[in-house]
Structure 1
Amino acid sequence: MKRSVLIFRSFGYALVVIGLSACSDDPGLTEYADKLHNQVHSTLNLPTQTIQAPKPQLQYPAKRDLTQNIERTSMGLLDSLQLNHCQLGQLIAENNSSLGRLKDGFSRYHADLTIIQALKKCIEHPESANVKDKLKEALEHKESQLKHSLANAFARDDGLRKALSVGNNSLPKIHVTEYNYAVNALERFTRILERWSYTQKVDDPAELIKMLGRLERSNYLPDLYRTMLDYSYKLEKMTERLPEIPQSVYCQDEQVPDKALELKKTFNTIYIKEMQGDIAEIIEQHQRLLMTLESLEGIAPQPELKAYIAELGTLSKKLTDASVHFVRPWQKFYSVCKFTPGLD
């Protein structure tokens, strides 16, 4: 369903605006901006210049820049052999196995939290008296490294990295089912991670791993961010190149120039009927993500990652601002000519 996002009431009618684009491998939805730009400049006999941007600078920080060193927590062999009375002994054996050493990302973070829980329980076990001090030392050290484990999960997990990365292409179309598939997975993952991070108590990781798998298989959120960046860029450039509709095509003394009618038809057909509804829905989809992005920003340990996620959360505002500036000359033009947007 097409919706309006930005409403101008000055003329007694609703005029909506919003947009974005850049140098995508596939411009997708933002082709409408190219078409509008070209037709307007052709009508006004102005040189047509392609609007093309470099790859967006907004990128998820590289793994090597986010990865932190973790000091290994260890116990002597004889001490570890005295832990068969509690779950800790089994967990140590599992983590030291070939499969255990392969754990990475949030699987490793889950394993570290599980060890901490087991250490706390084992310390209180009556049969742990001989190794209690060693267990307390191990617990203190393990807890001191937990922040680094979480940082490495944010750095390395491919599912989360993809969900928070800017894609290579704009969306080919707005797809509510695909959006819900991705955003529900990100919301569910974040709720689980919040519970683990703030309580340091974990449950079965199967649901969290499942949500990360969904995010890794979906391109929707990355392409949504790219669409917003691309549309914002194109609207800004269109505004720079046509900050005012030339006075020569304004309606005067009840006379309506042919070029004014052509501009009206172009704007109504491309912007009003095609672009504005898509832009409105793109912004709405992004705004549903804001609380989740704020939560992830709060949990992420690395300052550079916090800054990146915060900037990712500003995309709908940037797109709205670009739209406001783009529509102003059109608003004035429609007012003078007493045109009604969307009607021929």
Structure 2
Amino acid sequence: MRWLRLTFSTLLLSGCINSDPATDLVETYASRTANAIEQPFDLQLKKTAELYPTLPLRRERLAPIEPIREGLLELLDLRHCNLMQLVAERNTSLGRVATGSQRLIYELEFLPAAKACIRDLEKDPDRQEMVANLKSIVAIKSASLPNQIWNSIYTSPEMEQHFSLGELPLPPNMPGLITPITPTLERFAQISALTQQSNWQTPADITNLESHFEILYRSQFGAQWLASMALLTQTLEQTASAIELKLQGRPICFNKQQNNQSKILWNVFMNFYVNSLQPYIAQVEKEGRIWSELNLQIANRLPTTHRNWLDQLIDTDGKVWRQYLSARSRHTRAWQDILDQCGLRPGI
């Protein structure tokens, strides 16, 4: 008996862990629709990784950073420029193994300080060689800043996990999962906007940038959203196919006169689509647009040669959105056409 109780408890625990409310939702919807149209079909759901491009290796996503000649900064007399401590910190063992976020903080602090230093040194005719060297460094670093921002954000482990293709979908009836990371993405967008400005200052509270990466680390929204889009795209496509197949046969209603089957169809449409699946579609689409638009705000100001994978996953012309929007339109038309057979065509 004790063995049986343990086995039963294990099964219950396993069931809780593996529970996927979103998949349960779409399977119930598909099953009810199949019964209502008397066109049996079972959802054949592929894994997200079978549908969407996988994240390229980190080295393939890295944008090149032009190196500064070794020792050039150390040769400059920076005592009068308020740069010595910053450069010294960069050259410590911590600086050499700094994370992408720490390197970005350094660049965003160094460039405005170096430009201010140049303005001061230009007043001294004896320091013109130093001015020329410092200008060269600033020019190189300014040109590399978009790539540095790209690398710090889109090759970071914190952002990478949001493009994993192995997460469960977003749970239904839990809107707002995008909310905790929205300020982080907005902050990244503000930083990427600096590349379009000439005389910018170090952003306020830049030393707190790492806290935004921590917030990103504590969320799996992006990966969950991709799983939801894969789930919904397949559900809408396959349900539309079943309805279209039914439309090729005998109409449910003769001369649009409603009957018992049309009442069943209408009830399924209202209860399992309008009141059940559609709110989940709205949740996924609304929060997905926020996620996609904020990422585009960041990336559109940064290098284009390393972002094809990103466009496929977030751009409205990319694979994820394109397939979903096509499936949604097809599904809507199918329902309109079959309900129209009974004079029940809605404006969905």
TM-score by shorter chain over 0.5: yes
The corresponding residue for 1:190 is 189
Query: In the TM superposition, what whole-angstrom CA distance separates every residue of 1:171-197 from its partner, at most 9, and x where no partner exists?
Result: 112433433222233223322442366
Structure-to-structure mapping, 1:11-90, within 5 angstroms: 27-42=20-35, 46-54=39-47, 55=49, 56-73=51-68, 74-75=70-71, 79-80=75-76, 82-90=77-85
In 2 relative to 1, CA 131–245 (structure 1 residues): closer, same or farther, beyond 3 Å?
A: same
Deviation at 1:217, TM superposition (A): 0.7
CA distance in 1, matches of 2:75, 2:268: 79
SS in 2 for 1:49: coil
Residues 298, 306 of structure 1: 8 Å contact kept: no
Q: 1:1-20 alignment to 2 at 5 Å?
A: none
Match for residue 301 of structure 1? 303
> Which residue of 2 is the match for residue 335 of structure 1?
340
Taking a change above 3 Å as real, the CA distance of residues 173 and 207 of structure 1, as seen in their structure-2 partners, is farther
Structure having greater relative contact order (Cα 8 Å, sep ≥ 6): 1
Q: Per-residue deviation at 1:115?
A: 2.6
Gaps in structure 1 of 5+ consecutive residues: 1-24
Q: What residue number does 1:216 align with?
A: 217
Q: Deviations over 1:45-103 (max 9, x none)?
A: 545333212323144433111114434323358724x3222222222211010111122
How has the CA–CA distance of structure 1 residues 183 and 229 changed in structure 2, closer, same or farther, with 3 Å as cutoff? farther
Amino acid at match of 1:334: L
User: 2: distance between equivalents of 1:328 and 1:172?
Assistant: 27
Which one of 81, 86, 89 corresponds to residue 94 of structure 1? 89
Q: Tell me if structure 1 keeps the 8 A contact 2:22–2:172.
A: yes
Q: Unaligned regions of 5+ residues in structure 2, if any?
A: 1-17
What is the identity, as a one-letter code, of the residue corresponding to 2:332?
V
Moved more, 177-186 or 252-261: 252-261
Q: 1:242 to 1:163 in 2, by over 3 A?
A: same
The answer to whether 1:313 aligns with 2:319 is no
How do 1:141-180 and structure 2 match up within 5 A? 141-163=140-162, 168-180=167-179
Shift of 1:301: 1.2
What's 1:3 paired with?
none
- Judging changes above 3 Å, is the alpha-carbon distance between structure 1 residues 52 and 260 closer, same or farther for their aligned structure 2 residues? same
Structure 1 residue 42 displacement after superposition: 4.2
Tell me, yes or no, if the aligned pair for 2:23 and 2:231 is still in contact at 8 Å. yes
Q: TM-score, structure 2 length as denominator?
A: 0.76
**TM-score, normalised to structure 1's length?**
0.77
Q: Which whole-Å CA distance do the structure 1 matches of 2:308 and 2:196 have between them?
A: 16
Residue 201 of structure 2 corresponds to: 201
Question: AA paired with 1:29?
Answer: A
User: In structure 2, how many angstroms separate the alpha carbons of the residues matched to 1:168 and 1:43?
Assistant: 32
Count of residue pairs brought into register by the alignment: 316
After superposition, the CA RMSD in angstroms is 3.2
| SS at 1:70 equivalent | coil
Shift of 1:136: 3.3
| Contact 2:105-2:209 at 8 Å conserved across structures | no
